[in-house]
Amino acid sequence: MALTKRELEGMMSTGDGEWCTPKDRFRQWDSVFHFAVDVGASKKNTLCSTYIGKKQNALDPKTRWCKARGPAFCNPPYGFNIIHWVAKAAAESKHSKEAIVMLLPARTETEWFQRYVFGAAQLICFLDTRVKFENPKLNGKTSQPAFPSVLAVYYREPVAGTKHFNSIYFYETALKQFGCVVNMDPHQHCDA
């Protein structure tokens, strides 16, 4: 199915990029992480009971995504400003004991991906099927982008033998059902 020009604008960096995460895919990922907060969402499209969006200044350095909440999910707007979202996730992971999981375009050639995904995420899951996003501006019509997606998992540096270390092991193993998982720390691979 070919995309219309309007659909392409939303999926590419020239549009507003605010496409909604499909609920069925979110439920699959939520079964692994048990998300407590949806970052970058709005009251209209949040997938969690708690959300942090533009009105709550999600990108403000003082805003803590996981503070006393639990793991955070973020499907940021795909556009030129995506670098600010992945930079914030990388910074947040240093302050949080909870996982931050971002649904991102697999734009491995970009500066933001090199620096803040390859350079900061603990786990990267290259999804084995394309995500069909929903655009509320197009009456809920779904469309899949011309690029694959990843789940980037940001998690504070785990210490072997701790609950935190076991969580990384669990996440790495569980994510394999969704695609190819890369553990960015070669000393912490699971053998499953």
pLDDT value, residue 192 = 44
pLDDT value, residue 128 = 93
Q: Please report whether residue 98 resides in a domain.
A: yes
Of 45-54, 105-114, 136-145, 146-155, the range with the lowest mean pLDDT is 136-145
Q: Please report whether residue 115 resides in a domain.
A: yes
Q: Please report whether residue 131 resides in a domain.
A: yes
pLDDT value, residue 161 = 52
pLDDT value, residue 47 = 93
Q: Please report whether residue 81 resides in a domain.
A: yes
Helix (H) or strand (E) holding 109: none
pLDDT beyond 80 at 142: no
Q: Give the domain extent around 80.
A: 5-183
pLDDT value, residue 9 = 47
Q: How does residue 158 score in pLDDT terms, banded at 50, 70 and 90? A: low
Rounded Cα gap, residues 51 and 11, in angstroms: 23
Q: What is the pLDDT of residues 80-91, one digit of tens each?
A: 899 999 999 999
Q: What is the mean pLDDT of the chain?
A: 82
Q: Please report whether residue 191 resides in a domain.
A: no
Rounded Cα gap, residues 145 and 75, in angstroms: 14
Of 4-8, 43-47, 121-125, the range with the lowest mean pLDDT is 4-8
Please, is 60 exposed, middle or buried when counting C-beta atoms within 10 Å of its C-beta (0-12, 13-18, 19+)?
A: exposed
Rounded Cα gap, residues 148 and 144, in angstroms: 9
pLDDT value, residue 150 = 96
pLDDT value, residue 86 = 97
- Residue of higher predicted confidence among 68 and 27: 27
**Tally of domains within the chain:** 1
Report, as an integer, the average pLDDT of 87-106: 92
Q: What is the pLDDT of residues 12-66, one digit of tens each?
A: 433 555 678 989 999 999 999 999 999 999 888 899 999 998 888 899 989 999 8
pLDDT beyond 70 at 1: no
Rounded Cα gap, residues 68 and 151, in angstroms: 23
Q: How does residue 187 score in pLDDT terms, banded at 50, 70 and 90? A: low
Q: Compute, in degrees rounded to 10, the torsion defined by CA atoms 33, 135, 147, 175.
A: 10
Which residues 6+ apart lie within 8 Å of 178 measured at CB?
Answer: 28, 29, 125, 127, 128, 151
CATH number of 168's domain: 3.40.50
